[in-house]
């Protein structure tokens, strides 16, 4: 053994090294799987330009719909495409983060996970390293969309960019954790796809990505309140379009933070009890 008699600080340093290694591996694989990147960017663009432009042209003629909720902010005239843009960014984060969990299943099938678990590394570190990897992936994919946002007239400044990044990281930590939790006990990719479609689509559709949260039927507004992604999308909308969403920005962040941390804790627990083989 090379490492015997280590001091406390060295232990922390080496655990951070392990965290870095796990993260770096996820990041490198992400960069090399170009098809994954292209495919996951394509779908949000379809939503933005086909649904956004198509539905927007109809909605634009209906003067009664005020997407910006202009009565409070005083800003009206935000078209549908611009309105759903934060939602589409949110969608990209939701999908890429939760689907990231499926790589746990790949890792297990190809024994890579076993090789990591037989190393002297804590399950918590594996979980956090993977979660950071998923967050990085989601952020990079969202970044592509943010650039495209400039084309449809979304403007950023330093503060809005920083808050957008922070929101995306928070949201993706929670949803990557959710994906990892699912990946920790689902054994087949088919099973993962199935369960994920029961999770991802409700998360997306209930988040208010595609419609304003005001004036919803009671049952629907309850469901949207229960969706943690709602607060992420709402916060993104505030940060990107400079309007007040359904909730004040601070409330969004606080609720998002709490729900994300709770999912993360469950995630660590689920990795600890995950079988190595």
Partner 1 sequence: MISVKNLVKKYANITALDNLNVDINDNEIFGLVGPNGAGKTTLIHILATLIKPTSGTAVVNGYDITRSPSKVRSSIGIVFQAPSSDDMLTGYENLKLHSFLYSVPSNIREERISEVLDLVGLTDRKEHQVKKYSGGMRRRLEIARGLLHKPDVIFLDEPTLGLDPRSREIMWKYIERLVREEKISIILTTHYMDEADFLCDRIGIIDKGRIIALDTPSELKANLGSEIIKLVPTINDGKNSESITLLNGKNYYGIVEELLGKFDFVKNVEMDDHENETLVIYVKNARQNLPTILRELDNNGIKISSVDFKSPTLNDVFLKYAGRDITTIEDHAEGGFVERYAQYGKK
Between 29 and 195, name the residue whose CB sits nearer to partner 1: 29
Cα–Cα distance for residue pair 254/33, rounded to 1 Å: 35
Stretch that binds partner 1, among 14-22, 60-68, 151-159, 167-175 (CB under 8 A): 14-22
Nearer to partner 1, 178 or 186 (CB): 186
In this structure, how many other beta carbons lie within 10 angstroms of the beta carbon of residue 74?
A: 9
Nearest by Cα to 137 from 257, 36, 48: 36
- Closest contact distance (angstroms) between CB of 96 and partner 1 is 17
Closest CB 22 distance from partner 1, rounded Å: 8
Integer angstrom CA distances of residue 126 from 117, 164, 180: 8, 27, 11
CB of 6 to partner 1, least distance (A): 8
Q: How far apart are CA 48 and CA 177, in angstroms?
A: 26
Tell which one of 147, 226, 265, 276 touches partner 1 (CB under 8 A).
276
33 is a contact residue toward partner 1 (CB under 8 A): yes
Which residue from 104, 121, 170, 203 is in contact with partner 1, where contact means CB under 8 A? Answer: 121
Q: Which of 27, 49, 55, 112 binds partner 1 (CB under 8 A)?
A: 112
* Closest separation in Å from C-beta 20 to partner 1: 7
Task: Tell me: does residue 37 bind partner 1 (CB under 8 A).
Answer: no
Q: What are the counts of helices (DSSP H) followed by strands (DSSP E) for the chain?
A: 13, 0
Residues that bind partner 1 (CB under 8 A): 1-3, 6, 14, 17-18, 20-22, 24-25, 28-29, 32-33, 109-112, 114-121, 275-277
């Amino acid at each position: 053994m090379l490492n015997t008699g280590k001091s406390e600080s060295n232990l922390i340093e080496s655990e951070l090294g392990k965290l870095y290694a796990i993260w770096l591996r996820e990041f490198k694989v992400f960069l090399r799987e170009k098809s994954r990147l292209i495919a996951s960017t394509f779908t949000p663009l379809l939503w933005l330009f086909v649904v956004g432009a198509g539905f927007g042209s109809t909605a634009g003629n209906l003067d009664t719909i005020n997407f910006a909720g202009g009565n409070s902010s005083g800003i009206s005239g935000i078209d549908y495409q611009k309105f759903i843009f934060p939602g589409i960014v949110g969608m990209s984060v939701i999908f890429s983060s939760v689907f990231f969990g499926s790589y746990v299943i790949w890792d297990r099938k190809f024994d890579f996970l076993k090789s990591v678990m037989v190393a002297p590394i804590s399950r918590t570190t594996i979980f956090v390293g993977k979660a950071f990897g998923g967050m990085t992936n989601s952020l990079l994919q969202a970044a592509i969309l943010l650039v495209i946002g400039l084309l449809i007239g979304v403007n950023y400044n330093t503060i809005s960019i920083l808050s957008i990044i922070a929101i995306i990281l928070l949201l993706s930590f929670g949803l990557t954790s959710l994906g990892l939790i699912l990946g920790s006990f689902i054994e087949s990719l088919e099973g993962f796809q199935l369960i994920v479609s029961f999770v991802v689509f409700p998360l997306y559709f209930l988040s208010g990505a595609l419609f304003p949260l005001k004036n919803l039927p009671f049952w629907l507004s309850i469901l949207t309140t229960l969706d943690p992604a709602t607060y992420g999308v709402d916060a993104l909308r505030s940060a990107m379009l400079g309007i007040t969403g359904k909730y004040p920005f601070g409330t969004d962040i606080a609720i998002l933070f709490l729900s994300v941390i709770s999912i993360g804790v469950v995630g660590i627990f689920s990795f600890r009890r995950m079988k190595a083989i």
